[in-house]
Amino acid sequence: MGAGVPLLFVCGLDVFMNAEFIAMLDYLERERGIKRDILLEAVSNALLSASKKSVSASRDLRIDINPKTGEIRALANLLVVETVANPADEISVNKARALKPEAQIGDAVEVEVTPRNFGRIA
């Protein structure tokens, strides 16, 4: 990449880093002719792969990237249960209903699981 384009970025709430991420997307789109949606999909897939290695390959994860702000969130589908036996994959019916009032036992509820300083990507 050219001078001034960051090779690393940190995902998270840091607005400055998000602005650099967006600037990098703008640069790659403008100078290299790579469409933004393709760039976002590639970053999302890389983060998803890295996340599954650090948590659990079986965990139902999704990465959401806001194309305007650069905010990156990790989301997991958790199974609604009466009593939680596996907090990595389950959520109590009471907590699920706080997020989704119509949640029933056996449903899947999407929950944000973005860790602080989500990670680095080269």
Q: Which domains does the chain have, with CATH numbers?
A: 9-121 (3.30.1480.10)
Residue 65's alpha-carbon distances to 16, 73, 75, in angstroms, are 16, 6, 11
Question: What does pTM read for this prediction?
Answer: 0.69
Distance of CA 25 to the CA centre of its chain: 17
* Max CA separation in the chain (angstroms): 55
Residue 49 CB: number of other CB atoms within 10 A? 12
The one-digit pLDDT tens for each residue of the chain (122 residues) are 344 433 334 444 445 567 888 899 999 999 999 999 999 999 999 888 887 776 665 578 889 988 888 888 888 899 999 999 988 889 999 999 999 999 999 999 999 887 766 644 43
